[in-house]
Structure 1
Amino acid sequence: MTQIDQPVEVREGEELDVGAVDRFMKQAIPDLEGEPEIRQYPGGASNLTYQVDYDDRSFVLRRPPFGKIPKSAHDMLREARIMKALKPVYPYVPDIIAICDDHSVLGCDFYVMERLKGIILRTDFPKDFELSREDTRKLCLNVIDKLVDLHRVDPDAAGLDHLGKGPGYVERQIRGWSDRFRKARTDDVGDFEAVMSWLDEKMPEDVAQRVIHNDFRFDNVVLNPDNPFEVIGVLDWEMATIGDPLMDLGNSLAYWVQADDEGPFQMLRRQPTHRPGMLTRDEVVEYYLEKTGFSIDSFDYYEIYGLFRLAAIVQQIYYRFYHGQTKDKRFAAFGHAAQYLEKRCLRLIEASEL
């Protein structure tokens, strides 16, 4: 079925040692036979995701990117342990099969999880996947509901309370992302100082302490190929933690490019939120607040924070490309993306009544 998400050939410079993977897999799963075929999923700009096939059995291997990376970033062991703890209370998490902290295998920490065979919506609907306006809206609401469900998880009951640092999440995020941006800035992008100053000055208190995903998007959601309205999985738990759920929603809406957005923002679109029937960002916020019961006067702060955080992430990736630490040509234009996001943040700040 062409709709089901498929891996492709491994990108140059991101090949895995097939023999090492095979030895590890057969030790972790003793009944495996044959030789593995390894391909790579093309999406994502952070951790690398590979499909490892043995005849009719498929697994997914996740490892950090190649090149110099921040010491605290791309913690694969943390990601895998969060997923294992969350699985009993949030069934959309894939099963973890094996975790490796022995760097003699692949030179890094990595983990292996079950492959969820389904549809992943990236820039647009896949071939032969067409929905009416009404069905697109139904799908959209079902996806948003999974974020709402996550924000209802009790961190204590999930055994994840240790991930949180208590009140002050908003402040820690602004301080942290500001520091990361400044360290990753290259000479060919703006300094974001006016944006960071505004975020610091207008900082709200945390609305709650909940389990948050921190990268919840359509291309991290797996749909049932036999019923594309049904979400069967949520992927990429790298940045999950305990924090303010409205900050999490702000992160998600930074990627939510709608049909009437200007051209430069359309060029950054990575999910089909422009399709007829998809909610607008304002509609998402209204629906989310109604479902969760959270009450705020304005979402401006969270929207601008989400765009700034996205710019910092983009800039961290561009920094590696700029300094020759990755050859992935997708990242060549990320400096221009950061430039645009600064302008967008400044326009929103100027229009805000906060």
Structure 2
Amino acid sequence: MTLIDQPTETREGEALDPAAVDRFMKQQLPELEGEPVIRQYPGGASNLTYQIDYGERSFVLRRPPFGHKAKSAHDMLREARIMRALKPVYPYVPDIIAICDDHDVLGDEFYVMERLKGIILRQDFPEGFELSEQDTRKLCGNVVDKLVDLHRVDYQAAGLDQIGKGAGYVKRQIDGWSDRFRKARTEDVSDFEPVMEWLQEKMPEDVATCVIHNDFRFDNVVLNPDNPFEVIGILDWEMATLGDPLMDLGNSLAYWVQADDDQFFHMLRRQPTHRPGMMSRDEVVAYYMERSGFHADNFDFYEVYGLFRLAGIVQQIYYRYYHGQTQDKRFAGFGQAANYLEQRCKRLIEKSTL
């Protein structure tokens, strides 16, 4: 049982009012008894995730960060409604228990979902979790299969027509992230202009429109503790939308640090994709294309895009640190990380045959 992902104590300044939580939960589920035990999951730099326990019954509450937030960011209600609509056709989505848009309850909107008791693979395998090279390969394929399954969902039949703009996604992403990067750039970070120019020049048409996750990584995948090859849940649907499936894959590969990557990239690693038996990025692309039926003669554009988007995310966080809007020391090296990601993009561009 120790392998099951567990929360820790609530961080200072991020505590929930237990009486308010208790009132809300018992309005939704009158059979609950006793007082709630509230703990917080340590992961994530964005939305806040808590575990609410009533004896043996466990729930997960998701809410935006405290304080000021951008109008379009941290839309908990949208995330919950997407999950609720997806659940009948994509069973790996946790059940939504309740959605609350009344800010008087906890100071912001939030939702409550079932807790999936399972193993989550973060930077490294948890202590006591060991797989052979062959079994690691099997697990890797099973996880990529879940991305393929998502991209096969009939979004129109599922009633998800309105979650994104659909066609034209590739251009919107390149234009949008270029604009966001320029606005977030600090003087100690390179301007990325050659990378943005290349992406504009090499931009393909959308290969398809489907439901995409936009943050598909091992640390958003829940594994069955009794059968770690079985994926029982996919988490963090905040950025899900309608878009190009190969762009979704490119986003995932930006986090896919493999064994032969350089030391700096390994310092950025957030998932155990370096383990013996894990597919390389090229193998993931080939496996995905064979399983999905989607195809690109050359994947370089999508790989460069994924790294550039990641640099944009990193730089937006670093901008806040650089200008003293946060004192979180975790972000002190994010400018250096953005510069490194530009070098990765440039190396890919130099070798590209596009």
TM class, shorter-chain normalised? over 0.9
More deviation, 285-294/311-320: 311-320
Residue 324 of structure 1, CA deviation? 4.2
Distance in 2, Cα, partners of 1:186 & 1:65? 24
- The Cα offsets for residues 301-352 of structure 1, whole Å up to 9 and x where unpaired, read as 0001001111111222233333444454433322222121112112211221
Q: Is residue 272 of structure 1 aligned with residue 272 of structure 2?
A: yes
User: Who is 1:145 aligned against?
Assistant: 145
Pairing of 1:288-303 with structure 2 (within 5 A):
288-303=288-303
User: Who is 2:242 aligned against?
Assistant: 242
Distance in 1, Cα, partners of 2:184 & 2:15? 26
User: Who is 1:16 aligned against?
Assistant: 16
User: Who is 2:158 aligned against?
Assistant: 158
Please tell me whether the aligned partners of residues 151 and 210 of structure 1 are also in contact (alpha carbons under 8 angstroms).
yes
- The Cα offsets for residues 117-163 of structure 1, whole Å up to 9 and x where unpaired, read as 00000001111100000000000000000000001001111110122
Distance in 1, Cα, partners of 2:27 & 2:322? 39
> How high is the TM-score relative to the length of structure 1?
0.96
Q: Is residue 260 of structure 1 aligned with residue 260 of structure 2?
A: yes
User: Who is 2:330 aligned against?
Assistant: 330
Pairing of 1:68-83 with structure 2 (within 5 A):
68-83=68-83
Residue 11 of structure 1, CA deviation? 2.1
SS in 1 for 2:256: coil
User: Who is 1:133 aligned against?
Assistant: 133
Which amino acid is the alignment partner of residue 122 of structure 1? R
Which amino acid is the alignment partner of residue 121 of structure 1? L
Distance in 2, Cα, partners of 1:349 & 1:310? 16
Q: Is residue 229 of structure 1 aligned with residue 229 of structure 2?
A: yes
Tell me: CA distance 1:137–1:119, structure 2 relative to 1, closer, same or farther (3 Å): same
Q: Tell me the percent identity.
A: 81
More deviation, 336-345/302-311: 336-345
Distance in 2, Cα, partners of 1:315 & 1:291? 34
SS in 2 for 1:336: helix
What number of residue pairs does the alignment pair up? 354
Unaligned runs of 5+ in 2: none
- The Cα offsets for residues 58-81 of structure 1, whole Å up to 9 and x where unpaired, read as 111111223433221111110000
Residue 279 of structure 1, CA deviation? 0.2
User: Who is 1:286 aligned against?
Assistant: 286
Tell me: CA distance 1:129–1:280, structure 2 relative to 1, closer, same or farther (3 Å): same
- The Cα offsets for residues 68-119 of structure 1, whole Å up to 9 and x where unpaired, read as 3322111111000000000000000000011111112222211110000000
Residue 204 of structure 1, CA deviation? 0.4
Residue 184 of structure 1, CA deviation? 2.4
Please tell me whether the aligned partners of residues 307 and 345 of structure 1 are also in contact (alpha carbons under 8 angstroms).
yes
Which amino acid is the alignment partner of residue 18 of structure 1? P
User: Who is 2:309 aligned against?
Assistant: 309
Distance in 2, Cα, partners of 1:157 & 1:54? 37
Distance in 2, Cα, partners of 1:29 & 1:316? 40
Residue 46 of structure 1, CA deviation? 2.0
Distance in 1, Cα, partners of 2:107 & 2:184? 24
Q: Is residue 173 of structure 1 aligned with residue 177 of structure 2?
A: no
